[in-house]
Chain A
Amino acid sequence: MKEYTYSEKKDTRSGFGAGLHELGKNNPEVVALCADLTGSLKMDAFKKDFPERFFQVGIAEANMMGLAAGMTIGGKIPFTGTFANFSTGRVYDQIRQSIAYSGKNVKICASHAGLTLGEDGATHQILEDIGMMKMLPHMTVINPCDFNQTKAATMAIAEYEGPVYLRFGRPSVPNFTPANQKFEIGKAVMLNEGTDVTIIATGHLVWKAILAGKMLEEKGISAEIINIHTIKPLDNEAVLASVRKTKCVVTAEEHNRFGGLGDSVAQVLATNFPAPQEYVATNDTFGESGTPEELMEKYGLTEGNIVAAAERAISRKQ
């Protein structure tokens, strides 16, 4: 098992804030909009240094999506910032009509996704956003795993022409991917080559997949671990190449098992190379208040859950 280390834990939302600030310096077309959550989205640095390109929208997310669509007309590249729930479900029709169907170059940047925003509870813990956004034609869906990757993703999507949903979170998590990494949209990252089971993880579950890989190694199981930061378009070739080798797969995500990464992987496998798959995901439920650690434990999103799922998947191989 390849060794991964980190010097500190950092929140992915700060990776977004750092990337946005870099864009402010380097790309004069980038503008930012925020719906009264500037501090939570870590957009303060951009606001301070580029005030003429920062637009406070107030608590009016529907208007924010329409404004962003309009701002693209004339060449601006708008980045919208609010919580994942208010970036998707609250404004689905605005995104659908004014952004996705209209092919607008808007970057929808969504923090506090999933259970790990913690104590605020289920009203703010969206577990359906990946599904909603990946169903929209033209939409790219990205869920990076740590600070460095979120910063790189933020900068990369400015170079890509088209609507993007960028999902990240609140808690501090190990920052283990390289600083100044090249981020390729739609390209899976191979973290560990293995032979017995493929673990495909996204977002906060990527580090847990690495921990699970070590635990499996101690049990004599060789896990191939893939970081899928881009859920749409999915790197079908990477998924198929790995599962053709290992013959079974575990998908891991901080999202409902309906509509998330797991379903995208299942579709690729079912139509190309049917293989046993186990889901590490929430099971058609809302979240609740609690610490992030308590919630991940209660809803089955730990490295231990990944290990158990891997063993189940292996046992189902023909």
Chain B
Amino acid sequence: MNPHNKSIEELKDIAAQVRRDIVRMVHAVNSGHPGGSLGCTDYFVSLYFKVMDYSTDFSMDGKGEDLFFLSNGHISPVWYSTLARAGFFDVSELATFRKIDSRLQGHPATEEGLEGIRVASGSLGQGLSVALGAAQTKKLNNDDKLVYVLMGDGEVEEGQVWEAAMYAAHHKIDNVIATIDRNGQQIDGSTNEVMSLGDLKAKFEAFGWHVLEANGNSFETLLPALEEAKRSTGHGKPVMIMMDTEMGYGVDFMMGSHKWHGVAPNDEQLQIALQQLAVKVASDY
């Protein structure tokens, strides 16, 4: 059971608040990655406020809970905000993001003991392997909960992703739901310009995965896709969601461009962004 289990209207309000947190966090330290964070906000809010079964009383082993791993660790702002808003730690701690002595490192880490994080990520291509290992331990422990993992689309240029993809199908790891954030952007430009990814759905299907597609910026389509993904587990195949998102979603001048991958807004841009991210009752940290 999800500890929040919000309605779609409530999820939209939470998502707007998380997006406000994201732009304020990266603005405050003039660094960080707002583009992918904004694009994946609806996914994170769906998992933590509707889909996943977990406890905010964090334990590293997470026995009897759904687990989430973030492989593309640079979108840490959306994860930190979601974890805080879900109750893992106080939202006031978001103000320490990327600052000295903070638990909110530039990329997620376990070293400082931040609740909700089970492995460091940032160097790309490693999270799927970790998630598969955790999923196999769940099977050994007769734990029927699921393991979720998010990757970037540019990230699948790393060879380790394909080692893991092959392994998952061979070992029939059917208690994992992987998601690729298909926003078509990476640091140096669009994925088409930098490194053609081709038909990722067909590629993962050829590797033996059950692949779904969803619009990641619409709760009306994303939630049913996540439910379908859940129903697809336990059938001998790993499950993948190809999630189409728009980088920078929710802030018009950040949308549809790789330029806001790792750039923070200035004072004026922040105010414009916050005007666009209206919530019924803003509770900024």
Contacts and interface: CB of A to CB of B under 8 A. Distances in A.
Given A63-B163, A67-B129, A102 B120 contact: yes
A198 B61 CA distance: 46
A55 interface: yes
Given A58-B166, A62-B163, A70 B130 contact: yes
A60 B163 contact: yes
A221 interface: no
A220 interface: no
Contacts of B192: none
A96 B109 CA distance: 12
A98 B140 contact: no
Interface string A83-110: 0000000000110111001111000000
A67 B166 contact: no
A31 interface: yes
A74 B143 contact: yes
B128 interface: yes
Contact of B133 (A60, A70, A75, A97): A70
B3 interface: no
Given A66-B129, A69-B133, A70-B134, A53 B160 contact: no
Contacts of A57: 167
Given A66-B128, A67-B133, A101-B111, A75 B123 contact: no
Contacts of A96: 123
B190 to A, nearest CB: 26
Contact of B129 (A70, A72, A101, A102): A70
A98 B120 contact: yes
Nearest to A137: B111
A74 B63 contact: yes
Interface in B121-163: 121-123, 125-138, 140-141, 143, 159-160, 163
Contacts of A152: none
A62 B159 contact: yes
Given A71-B134, A76-B140, A102 B163 contact: no
Nearest to A138: B111
A205 to B, nearest CB: 35
A295 interface: no
Contacts of A103: 110-111
Contacts of A94: 126, 129, 160
Contacts of A67: 129-130, 132-133, 136, 164, 167
A306 to B, nearest CB: 41
Given A93-B123, A97-B126, A102-B120, A62 B133 contact: no
Given A58-B166, A66-B126, A69-B119, A74 B141 contact: yes
A52 B137 CA distance: 11
A235 B17 CA distance: 53
Nearest to A91: B160
Contact of A102 (B110, B131, B132, B137): B110
A241 interface: no
Contacts of A75: 61, 63, 137, 141
A139 interface: no
B110 A70 contact: no
Nearest to B110: A102
A220 B239 CA distance: 72
Contacts of A66: 126-130, 132-133, 160, 164
A104 B117 CA distance: 13
A223 interface: no
B134 A62 contact: no
A243 interface: no
A71 B163 contact: no
A63 B69 CA distance: 15
A302 B129 CA distance: 42
B106 interface: no
Given A62-B160, A102-B120, A73 B60 contact: yes
Pairs of residues from A and B, 7 with the lowest C-beta to C-beta distance, nearest first: A66-B129, A70-B133, A74-B137, A63-B163, A60-B163, A67-B133, A70-B130
Interface of B: 60-63, 67, 69, 109-111, 118-123, 125-138, 140-141, 143, 159-160, 163-164, 166-167, 170-171
27 contacts: A55-B136, A62-B159, A63-B129, A65-B129, A66-B133, A67-B129, A69-B129, A69-B130, A70-B131, A70-B137, A71-B137, A73-B61, A73-B62, A73-B67, A74-B62, A75-B61, A75-B137, A93-B123, A97-B122, A97-B126, A98-B119, A98-B120, A98-B126, A101-B111, A102-B109, A102-B111, A103-B111
Given A60-B163, A60-B166, 13 more contacts: A31-B140, A62-B160, A63-B129, A67-B129, A67-B130, A67-B136, A70-B129, A70-B136, A72-B137, A73-B118, A74-B63, A98-B126, A102-B111
